[in-house]
Chains A and B, each alone.
Chain A
Amino acid sequence: MADNKKQYIFLVDDEPIQNEMLKDFLSERFRYEFKTYESGETAIKDAHLNPQVIVLDYHLNSHLPDAKDGIEVLKMFKEALPATKVIMLSGQDKIEVAIDSMKYGAFDYVIKGETAFSRMENIINYVNEMTNIRAANAMYKKVIVGLCITFSLIIVGSVMLVLKMR
């Protein structure tokens, strides 16, 4: 894409090892800027960076009673940045987790484990693809509108011409 702005992905998980591994894994594969956060509160402060994707732990900081959990952080982000895709990470293969995540607007959800990394890669690929398609779509729209205007001008012009000839 044309713009020069940096594109960000936020990784939000209170397990540093999870953040680190995911960051290493994804940064080898995508040209994004990666930022890691141990809590939702610190992540939301950087919302102005307008990250394209946020990977969010579902059980975020459940050992700290006052900290916001993953779903709360998800809600906050969806409110602040509706276009950002939030992918939930969960240690558990439970349907409730999936339903909860999707209900509050998560783009997808992934179970932690050995396969989580490649799944994440696929999802981000998919996000990219969608973004590209959207961009292309917008461009087509513009082109079509432009063409319509041109055609109508031509038609109007020729009608005028015919009328004049009479």
Chain B
Amino acid sequence: MMDTPRYKELQQLYTEQTDEKGRIDVLIEIAIEVRNYDVEEAAKMAEDIIVRSRAVAYTFGIGRGLKLKGSCHWMKGEYDLGLSVLKEALAIAVKTKDKRLEARVLYYFGNIYRDQGDLANVLTHFKKALTINEELGDEFAQSIILTSISNLLYDLNDYDSALEYALKCLPIFERAHNVSSLINVYNTLGNIYFKKEQFPEALHYFQENLGHSEFETIAYVMAESGLGKVYYKMQNFDNARKLLSNALRQSEHLGNVEVQIICQYYLGRMYMDKASYRQSLQYLNHAYTLANEYNRRHDLMSIHEMMSALYDKMGDIPKAFHHLKSYEQLKEEIFKQKIINELRNLQVRQQIELAQKEKEVAERTAYLKHQFMANMSHEIRTPMNAIVGMTRLLLSKEPKPDQLRYLNAIQLSADNLLIIINDILDLSKIEAGKIVIEHTDFSVREVLQSVQDMLLLKADEKGIQIKITTDDAIPKRLTGDPTRLNQILINLAGNAVKFTDKGYVEIKTTLRNKSNKLWIQFDVIDTGIGISSEFVDNIFDSFTQAGADVTRKFGGTGLGLTISRQLATLMNGDISLKSELGKGTVFTVVIPFEEAEVQDYELQESLLDAAAMKRLNNLKVLLVEDNEFNRLVAEETLKDLIPALRLDKAVNGQEAVSRLQNEMYDIVLMDIQMPVMDGVTATKLIRSTLPEPARSVKIIAMTANVLQEDVAQYFDIGMDAYVSKPFQVDELLLKMDAVLGNAPVRRPVKTPDQVSVASAPSKPIVVEETPIPEYKRTNSNGTPFVMPEFVTDRNFLKQFTGGNPEKMQKYISMFLENASKLLKTMDEALEAKDYLAVKIAAHSLKPQLSYMGVKEEVSHIFLIEQAAGAPAHYDTLPDRIKSLNLICNKAFEELKDISVV
């Protein structure tokens, strides 16, 4: 039966060998060839090789023989035997320092573990083998292992990555014309496409295999069974049954377990679909027995799942339940280790350099989590918006005293609920690494003041005092994240007020250490009930409060402290506590800040003044919102505050677009998630298809999606601002005022561009809105224009000049001279409406800015150049050039600072 050309060639070679070792070497090659067709025979040959090698003390031969024997055991499903033989082979490989053999043995170890469903072990073995082959530079052997890793990823249901690996190997095998490897990778590809439900591709690869393999071989029946299952999924039952039955018969004959199980499994499923439950059960039982006998846990898992479904259909609920349990248990066992690893990786991501693959998996997990959070936040916030808003409306409608009491209660509960939701979202965000720590200028004293303001009411109610003491040595303005600091202090001081019935709560701030950073210590001291020592240790863990009854008595989620600690850690700080039961507690937070460069700021109070209200008075606004209640809330609120406001409504994006075609509006308030057409699509349509002036109407997103990337996306597609729902009236009005071009002058150096977590977004970051409703941000950011902390970047110059400071200085001075000239030209040209000259100047300036590391996202110099060439966009130029001037001035400042070199 063995008559392949390769076999004949080897036979010939065998007869030509003159010494025993040479013969053994050729025999090994023959055995490998035979293994493709007849495993049993190959195993016998392997045994022969071992015996003959031992006789002449040929270690190389013994090692190879053992490896071969192990691989045959694997193919026959004799895993334990295989493992013990491979162990011997590995010992020889290590002893003789035969790297090539070691890699192969490790590879077969991996294969056996894979069949047994011990995935963690598989990965370590494959990785070791891969490293060895990489060192050896053996591309072909690497590809074989990559194929196996692809199989492994397939087992883990990560089909995209599996596909990527398999496709990487494909050309290498094709080049090498190695039929058995090709068959292997085609099989893998067929399986992956099968799972991805891309059936034509799957069919292609299985058919390819059918063509490549000899009749009545394992590869052939594999291909047949593969085709069978694809046809089954394509509902081509006749073909499927024919192929599967055929493959089953042959695989029984060949003694191949894997194909037998596959065929029986899919035949079982097919009969189940046809409601022939008895036959189905018969097949599945067979498959089960086989899988059990050979301990193929992955197959067992799938079979349990299917049997559960089958018994469910047959009405045998207890048995269905039994199989479901077994299925879940197995699934857990197989995937558990992997998942634990993933989670751990997620937490210590900054410390450990992850293997490429694991990182990708972790990112996917994080992505799913993010998706879930965004959805959850939307689902909860939409109704909350309605509740909060309606309550506010009712309160303004002079309710009766008892109604007032109820309404107040509703408002309080809603606010509490919002805080809880925000807590949970915050925590998930921190854990997903989505929290961005800002670096903006702020005043500690202002933050403390706002904390005091917020807690004053509560404290007054309880008859306790709130004291704030601040160290005079602390500079007026610091650089750091005021929002997060405020959140920590509110959490701690809020707790302190909650758990203190008499006495006082004090927030004491001291400058602890002034090195290159200012270490500031915040002590939150209370005279409350205290925390007993047994809880002190784990009080910062999630959902832990001082005693189980605390939640009932005092409310809250118990997440506040966890969040506070996580935030403090993110800011490179620390948090600790001292407490005595009955006497009180001291929470100590120590956080490093930097001293702000500019100390004397006139604080721009971006509050609504009468002038702003007047400006808003005659606006025509289009409200696009699908939720009837939210529509009502927004409408009533706006009309209450701005009586002369003209407000039209649309219930989805499509309606909004058609309204804009017929009428002029000043502002569109756009909900994001809507049926028929969502806000993002509608905005894109408005910005790209409508004629002016409707095309450039101001659009404010109103959404419960408070995640940063989402918000950044809204700005990318051309929205002008965004408010989070449930919206605060003041905030909405301020933003409306701001988008109309009345934004208060923004202070320089006022942005979050320092990202302290792993992800470093390339887009300008928009300040994340704090979801805590009561807290008014000290740096509200109404429009998408943000100035990064540094606009220039000398990396290119440094690299270009090879770090030569004189040369860098030469270019910088040239730039300083030239760019200011160009800016002046541009200003003058704009004044004179000489747009061609603007375009030319912008064109000249563009490469120079890029050499100084001023990015297009920041300067928009390319947009200016383009706009100056298109009359429709002339109106955008004054603003853009104004901000270009600001940016360039900042760039000049930065570049003049020679010390940076």
Question: Interface on A for B, CB 8 Å cutoff?
Answer: 14-18, 20-21, 24-25, 59, 62-63, 91-92, 112-114, 116-117
Whether B840 contacts A114 by the Cβ 8 Å rule is no
What distance in Å separates the Cβ of A23 from its nearest Cβ neighbour in chain B?
A: 11
| List of A residues within 8 angstroms of B770 by Cβ | none
What distance in Å separates the Cβ of B785 from its nearest Cβ neighbour in chain A?
A: 25
| List of A residues within 8 angstroms of B840 by Cβ | 59, 62-63
Top 10 nearest A-B pairs (CB, nearest first) are A112-B847, A17-B814, A62-B840, A91-B843, A63-B840, A114-B796, A113-B850, A91-B846, A91-B847, A113-B847
Whether B843 contacts A18 by the Cβ 8 Å rule is no
**Considering the chains assembled together, what is the distance between the CA atoms of A83 and B407 in angstroms?**
89
What distance in Å separates the Cβ of B762 from its nearest Cβ neighbour in chain A?
A: 16
Q: Which residue of B lies closest to A116 (CB)?
A: B847
Out of B814, B825, B847, name the residue touching A20 (CB < 8 Å).
B814
Beta-carbon contacts under 8 Å, B835-859 to A:
837, 840-841, 843-844, 846-848, 850-851
| List of B residues within 8 angstroms of A116 by Cβ | 847
Whether B807 contacts A17 by the Cβ 8 Å rule is no
Q: Which residue of A lies closest to B797 (CB)?
A: A21
| List of B residues within 8 angstroms of A15 by Cβ | 818, 844, 847-848
**Considering the chains assembled together, what is the distance between the CA atoms of A120 and B538 in angstroms?**
63
Out of A17, A114, A117, name the residue touching B811 (CB < 8 Å).
A17
A114 and B843 in contact, given A17-B814, A20-B811, A21-B811 (Cβ under 8 angstroms): no
Q: Is B810 at the interface (CB under 8 A from chain A)?
A: yes
**Considering the chains assembled together, what is the distance between the CA atoms of A112 and B861 in angstroms?**
14
Q: Which residue of B lies closest to A14 (CB)?
A: B844
Whether A92 contacts B818 by the Cβ 8 Å rule is no
A21 and B851 in contact, given A16-B814, A92-B843 (Cβ under 8 angstroms): yes
**Considering the chains assembled together, what is the distance between the CA atoms of A132 and B895 in angstroms?**
44
Out of B825, B837, B841, B851, name the residue touching A17 (CB < 8 Å).
B851
| List of A residues within 8 angstroms of B818 by Cβ | 15-17
Q: Is B815 at the interface (CB under 8 A from chain A)?
A: yes
What distance in Å separates the Cβ of A18 from its nearest Cβ neighbour in chain B?
A: 7
| List of A residues within 8 angstroms of B846 by Cβ | 91, 112
What distance in Å separates the Cβ of A117 from its nearest Cβ neighbour in chain B?
A: 7
Whether B851 contacts A114 by the Cβ 8 Å rule is yes
**Considering the chains assembled together, what is the distance between the CA atoms of A117 and B176 in angstroms?**
41
A21 and B800 in contact, given A15-B818, A16-B814, A16-B818 (Cβ under 8 angstroms): yes
New A-B pairs, 9, CB < 8 Å, besides A63-B840, A114-B796 = A14-B844, A16-B814, A20-B811, A20-B814, A59-B840, A91-B844, A91-B846, A112-B847, A113-B850
| List of A residues within 8 angstroms of B851 by Cβ | 17, 21, 114
A59 and B843 in contact, given A15-B848, A21-B851 (Cβ under 8 angstroms): yes
Whether B837 contacts A20 by the Cβ 8 Å rule is no
Q: Which residue of B lies closest to A63 (CB)?
A: B840
What distance in Å separates the Cβ of B680 from its nearest Cβ neighbour in chain A?
A: 29
A24 and B807 in contact, given A62-B840, A63-B840, A113-B850 (Cβ under 8 angstroms): yes
Whether A63 contacts B815 by the Cβ 8 Å rule is no
Whether A117 contacts B800 by the Cβ 8 Å rule is yes
| List of B residues within 8 angstroms of A62 by Cβ | 840, 843
Interface size on B, residues (CB 8 A): 20
What distance in Å separates the Cβ of A32 from its nearest Cβ neighbour in chain B?
A: 19
**Considering the chains assembled together, what is the distance between the CA atoms of A16 and B848 in angstroms?**
10
| List of B residues within 8 angstroms of A14 by Cβ | 844
What distance in Å separates the Cβ of B810 from its nearest Cβ neighbour in chain A?
A: 7
| List of B residues within 8 angstroms of A17 by Cβ | 811, 814-815, 818, 848, 851
**Considering the chains assembled together, what is the distance between the CA atoms of A63 and B845 in angstroms?**
13
**Considering the chains assembled together, what is the distance between the CA atoms of A63 and B839 in angstroms?**
10
What distance in Å separates the Cβ of B853 from its nearest Cβ neighbour in chain A?
A: 9
Beta-carbon contacts under 8 Å, B773-817 to A:
796, 800-801, 807, 810-811, 814-815
Out of A16, A18, A24, name the residue touching B847 (CB < 8 Å).
A18
What distance in Å separates the Cβ of A21 from its nearest Cβ neighbour in chain B?
A: 6
Whether B796 contacts A63 by the Cβ 8 Å rule is no
What distance in Å separates the Cβ of B388 from its nearest Cβ neighbour in chain A?
A: 51
Q: Which residue of A lies closest to B839 (CB)?
A: A62
**Considering the chains assembled together, what is the distance between the CA atoms of A103 and B898 in angstroms?**
46
Pairs A–B under 8 Å by Cβ, sample size 12? A15-B844, A17-B814, A18-B847, A20-B810, A20-B811, A21-B811, A25-B800, A59-B840, A92-B843, A113-B850, A114-B796, A116-B847
| List of B residues within 8 angstroms of A21 by Cβ | 800, 811, 851
**Considering the chains assembled together, what is the distance between the CA atoms of A36 and B825 in angstroms?**
24
Q: Which residue of A lies closest to B802 (CB)?
A: A28
Whether B850 contacts A114 by the Cβ 8 Å rule is yes
**Considering the chains assembled together, what is the distance between the CA atoms of A20 and B810 in angstroms?**
9
| List of A residues within 8 angstroms of B807 by Cβ | 24
Q: Which residue of B lies closest to A62 (CB)?
A: B840
| List of B residues within 8 angstroms of A63 by Cβ | 825, 837, 840-841
**Considering the chains assembled together, what is the distance between the CA atoms of A55 and B817 in angstroms?**
24
| List of B residues within 8 angstroms of A59 by Cβ | 840, 843-844
What distance in Å separates the Cβ of A113 from its nearest Cβ neighbour in chain B?
A: 5
B 426-439 binary contact with A (CB < 8 Å = 1; else 0) = 00000000000000
Q: Which residue of A lies closest to B819 (CB)?
A: A17
**Considering the chains assembled together, what is the distance between the CA atoms of A77 and B585 in angstroms?**
85
**Considering the chains assembled together, what is the distance between the CA atoms of A66 and B815 in angstroms?**
26
**Considering the chains assembled together, what is the distance between the CA atoms of A92 and B800 in angstroms?**
21
| List of A residues within 8 angstroms of B801 by Cβ | 24
Q: Which residue of A lies closest to B866 (CB)?
A: A92
What distance in Å separates the Cβ of A89 from its nearest Cβ neighbour in chain B?
A: 9
Q: Which residue of A lies closest to B799 (CB)?
A: A114
**Considering the chains assembled together, what is the distance between the CA atoms of A16 and B813 in angstroms?**
11
**Considering the chains assembled together, what is the distance between the CA atoms of A62 and B814 in angstroms?**
20
Q: Which residue of A lies closest to B807 (CB)?
A: A24
Q: Which residue of A lies closest to B848 (CB)?
A: A17
| List of A residues within 8 angstroms of B841 by Cβ | 63
Q: Which residue of A lies closest to B847 (CB)?
A: A112
Q: Which residue of B lies closest to A18 (CB)?
A: B847
| List of A residues within 8 angstroms of B814 by Cβ | 16-17, 20
Q: Which residue of A lies closest to B796 (CB)?
A: A114
B 820-845 binary contact with A (CB < 8 Å = 1; else 0) = 00000100000000000100110110
**Considering the chains assembled together, what is the distance between the CA atoms of A116 and B850 in angstroms?**
11
| List of A residues within 8 angstroms of B837 by Cβ | 63
Of B810, B811, B841, B851, the most chain A CB neighbours within 10 A belong to B851
Of A21, A59, A92, A116, the most chain B CB neighbours within 10 A belong to A21
What distance in Å separates the Cβ of B799 from its nearest Cβ neighbour in chain A?
A: 9
**Considering the chains assembled together, what is the distance between the CA atoms of A59 and B841 in angstroms?**
11
| List of A residues within 8 angstroms of B810 by Cβ | 20
What distance in Å separates the Cβ of A24 from its nearest Cβ neighbour in chain B?
A: 6
**Considering the chains assembled together, what is the distance between the CA atoms of A119 and B815 in angstroms?**
22
**Considering the chains assembled together, what is the distance between the CA atoms of A59 and B810 in angstroms?**
24
Q: Which residue of B lies closest to A93 (CB)?
A: B862
Q: Which residue of A lies closest to B814 (CB)?
A: A17
**Considering the chains assembled together, what is the distance between the CA atoms of A42 and B120 in angstroms?**
72
Of B807, B818, B843, the most chain A CB neighbours within 10 A belong to B843
**Considering the chains assembled together, what is the distance between the CA atoms of A59 and B825 in angstroms?**
17
Q: Which residue of A lies closest to B843 (CB)?
A: A91
| List of B residues within 8 angstroms of A92 by Cβ | 843
What distance in Å separates the Cβ of A34 from its nearest Cβ neighbour in chain B?
A: 15
What distance in Å separates the Cβ of A155 from its nearest Cβ neighbour in chain B?
A: 51
**Considering the chains assembled together, what is the distance between the CA atoms of A116 and B814 in angstroms?**
19
What distance in Å separates the Cβ of A94 from its nearest Cβ neighbour in chain B?
A: 11
B 626-648 binary contact with A (CB < 8 Å = 1; else 0) = 00000000000000000000000
Beta-carbon contacts under 8 Å, B217-257 to A:
none
